[in-house]
Every structure is written in structure tokens, then in C-alpha cells.
Amino acid sequence: MPTPEKIENILQTHASLILAVVQTIHNPDYKPQLDQVLQQSTQNGWQALVNVINKIMAGSREQSLLEGLDEEDAIIAKSILRGLQNPETLPKTQTSGDANKAAPMLAQIINEARRGDHNALTMLGTMAEQMSNAGGDMANLSAVLKDMIDGERSVDKLCSRMGVQGESLITQILNELAKLDTH
């Protein structure tokens, strides 16, 4: 059973996908954008989740949809189903003001990826893609995630293309990584 923190991290990581599915069910005009996201998800190896999302889009709401999904996919699908019943349960997309929460989460995932955790690498890949699409400091952060996985800890190297907020976030991530390295 995943910890509440792990569930929250997964929900935050995939909040935009979860919200996009629920919004599209309520407003089919969004379907072309969602189809692009689902196509990208399929290319990233998330076919089982995409299949379940397509069934939910077609009106299926059975808990049996979750059978056979891995832990992360099941958490995402459950959140979509819950969100359809009660929109208050939907994850909130993180704003730039959430850096205090984002830094420890990113550091934890980077640390797990560095140790060879395949799920963490996949999660970072998805996050990097979303960051890249966001542009600005987020795109620049996505460009240095691999460097951090590979062990780069120089603030100057990692922040060479960052603005003030991006530099602050990277500094916080490095501080969190330093704490994890000492354990």
C-alpha cells in the first residue's frame, strides 16, 4: 500500500492529466487536446492507463477498471473516477508558490532515479515533458534534471539559464538532495 505522501506526489505529478480527463468528460470540446495528451502518454509507455482512460471517457465507472493496473496508474485512474463523483477531490495543479513542497518532492524522485528506480525515472520523464511545455524556468529546469540525476550539484552550472524563481527552486532541490545524501 503506497504511503499518503507517495499518493500525493503521484497526484501532483499527474494533476494536469487527471483534470484534463475530467474536464473533457464534462466538456467534449476539449477532446482534441486530450487526445494529443493520451497519444503522447501511449508513446511514453502508459498504454494500460490510456486504455482505462478511454473506457472512462466512454462512460464506464466500474472499480474493475483498476484491475491489472500498476500502483501509479491505479492511483491516477481512481482519482479520475473520484473526481467525476466529487470535483472537490480533484488534485490542485501546483503553482509556482508551491516551491517549498515541490523541492522536497523533486529531490526525492531525483534521488530514487539516481539509485535506478525505473518508476522514478519514468515519472521524471513525464514531469520534464510537462515542464518543457510550460516554458521559462520550468523548461530550463527540465533541461537540467538529467544532470542532477547524474550527480551534478554545482548551483552555477545548473542555474546558468535560470531566472530568480528557477534558481531558488534549484537551490532548494540541491539542499534537499544534500539531506538525502547524508542519510
Question: Each residue of 59-90: pLDDT tens digit?
Answer: 999 999 999 999 999 999 999 999 999 988 88
Any idea where the domains of the chain sit in the sequence? 4-89, 96-181
Q: For residue 120, is pLDDT > 70? A: yes
Distance (Å) of CA 131 to CA 28, 30, 41 = 26, 21, 15
Q: For residue 122, is pLDDT > 70? A: yes
Q: For residue 23, is pLDDT > 50? A: yes
> Which range scores top for mean pLDDT: 23-32, 48-57, 83-92?
48-57
* 140/22 Cα distance (integer angstroms): 30
Phi then psi dihedrals of residue 153, to 5 deg: -130, 10
Report percent pLDDT > 70 for the chain: 95
Q: Kindly compute the dihedral angle of the four CA atoms of residues 32, 139, 41, 109, in this order, to the nearest 10 degrees.
A: -150
Q: For residue 115, is pLDDT > 60? A: yes
Q: Which residue has the higher pLDDT, 19 or 183?
A: 19
Q: Which residues contact 56 (CB under 8 A, 6 or more apart)?
A: 21, 25, 65, 77, 80, 81, 84
Could you report the per-residue pLDDT of 136-162, keeping only the tens digit for each? Answer: 878 888 889 999 999 999 999 998 888
**Which pLDDT belongs to residue 96?**
43
What count of Cα atoms within 13 Å lies in the side-chain half-sphere of residue 145?
A: 28
**Which pLDDT belongs to residue 128?**
83
Q: For residue 94, is pLDDT > 70? A: no
Q: Are the C-beta atoms of 113 and 149 separated by less than 8 Å?
A: yes
Q: How confident is the model at residue 1 (pLDDT cuts 50, 70, 90)?
A: confident
